[in-house]
């Protein structure tokens, strides 16, 4: 799959769910899977990208958050996912 095709798939997912609904769903799943290990979590969805922000003490929790996004979008976000969760705070 090319970067362009992946971006198109993400746009279709966002069209179906809506930006706010997808962000809400991602945040909820991250909270459940990471069991509160990510503080100040915020998810922003737009036409071509998903941005994760927050703070975590471990890289494992950061990776769990990223995996939630990949699971919920069937891996369609790989070139358009920005995991900006800060580790070590």
Q: What are the beta bridge partners of residue 85? A: 54
More confident residue, 43 or 18: 43
pTM, two decimal places: 0.77
Residue 29's pLDDT is what? 95
First to last CA, the chain: 36
- pLDDT per position as a tens digit, 25-58: 999 999 999 999 999 999 998 877 899 999 999 9
DSSP assignments along 21-69, one per residue: HHHHHHHHHHHHHHTT-EEEEEEEE-SS-EEEEEEES-HHHHHHHHHHH
Burial of residue 76, with CB atoms counted within 10 A of its CB: 0-12 exposed, 13-18 middle, 19 or more buried: buried
Residue 89's pLDDT is what? 61
- pLDDT per position as a tens digit, 61-73: 999 999 999 888 8
Record the tokens describing residue 72, joined without a space. Answer: 């919920």
Task: Say whether 88 sits in a helix, a strand or coil.
Answer: coil
Residue 11's pLDDT is what? 66
Residue 18's pLDDT is what? 79
Q: 42 φ, ψ to 5°?
A: -145, 135
Residue 86's pLDDT is what? 97
């Amino acid at each position: 799959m090319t970067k362009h095709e992946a971006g198109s798939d993400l746009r279709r997912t966002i069209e179906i769910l809506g930006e706010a609904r997808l962000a809400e769903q991602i945040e909820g799943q991250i909270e459940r899977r990471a069991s509160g290990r990510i503080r100040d979590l915020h998810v922003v969805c737009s036409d071509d990208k998903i941005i994760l922000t927050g703070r975590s003490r471990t890289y494992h929790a950061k990776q769990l958050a990223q995996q939630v996004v990949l699971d919920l979008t069937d891996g369609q976000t790989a070139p358009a996912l920005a995991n900006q969760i800060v580790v070590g705070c």
